[in-house]
Amino acid sequence: MAAFSSCENRSYSVRLLSQESFDTTLNGKKVGLYTLKNANGLVVQVTNYGARVVSLWVPCKGDSLVDVVWGYPSIKSYLAATDCYSGPIVGRFGNRIGKGCFAINGKGYKLSLNDHGNHLHGGSNGFWSRVWDVESDSSSSVNPSITLSYLSPDGEEGYPGDLKITVKYILTETNRLKVEYAATTSKPTVVNPTSHIYFNLHGNTARSICSHVLQIRASSFTPTDSLLIPTGEIASAIGTPLDFNQPTPIGKRIGEPYQPLIYGKGYDHNWVLAKPLGKVDVVAAVFEPSTGVEMLVATDQPGLQFYSGNFMNGKDVGKYGQKHLYRSGIALETQNFPDAPNHPNFPSAFLEPGQVYKQSTYYEFRLRK
Ligand code: GAL
Which domains can be identified in the chain, with CATH numbers? 2-197 (2.70.98.10), 209-331 (2.70.98.10)
Give per-residue pLDDT as tens, 328-341.
999 999 999 999 99
Alpha carbon distance 134, 279 (integer Å) = 28
pLDDT tens digit string along 283-294?
999 999 999 999
Cβ–ligand 1 contact at 350 (below 6 Å)? no
Question: In this predicted model, what pLDDT tens digit does every residue of 163-189 receive, in sequence order?
Answer: 999 999 999 999 999 999 999 999 999
Cα dihedral sign, 329-330-335-339? positive
pLDDT of residue 1: 42
If pLDDT is split at 50, 70 and 90, which confidence band does 278 have? confident
Mean pLDDT, the chain, rounded, equals 95
Annotated catalytic residue 352: no
Specify whether 196 is catalytic. yes
Chain segment 231-257, per-residue pLDDT in tens: 999 999 999 999 999 999 999 999 999
In this prediction, residue 114 has a pLDDT band, given cuts at 50, 70 and 90, of very high
pTM: 0.96
Mutate to test the pocket of ligand 1, among 90, 116, 307 (most ligand atoms within 8 A of CB): 307
CA distance 38 to 140: 9
- Going from the Cα of 36 to the center of ligand 1, the distance in angstroms, rounded, reads 28
For ligand 1, say whether the CB of 90 is within 6 Å of any of its atoms.
no
Judge if the beta carbon of residue 109 lies within 6 A of ligand 1. no
Q: What are phi and psi of 283, to 5 degrees?
A: -115, -15
- Of 288, 294, 333, 364, the active-site residue reads 333
Query: Which atom of ligand 1 is the closest one to the Cα of 312?
Result: 12
Q: What atom of ligand 1 comes closest to residue 94's alpha carbon?
A: 7
Q: What is the pLDDT of residue 62?
A: 92
In sequence order, the 6+-apart residues with CB closer than 8 A to the CB of 33 are 17, 18, 19, 21, 22, 23, 45, 46, 47, 54
Question: Backbone phi, then psi, for 261, in 5-degree steps?
Answer: -70, -35
Q: Torsion angle of alpha carbons 201, 205, 209, 214, nearest 10°? A: 20
The whole-angstrom separation of Cα 331 and Cα 334 is: 9
pLDDT at site 7: 34
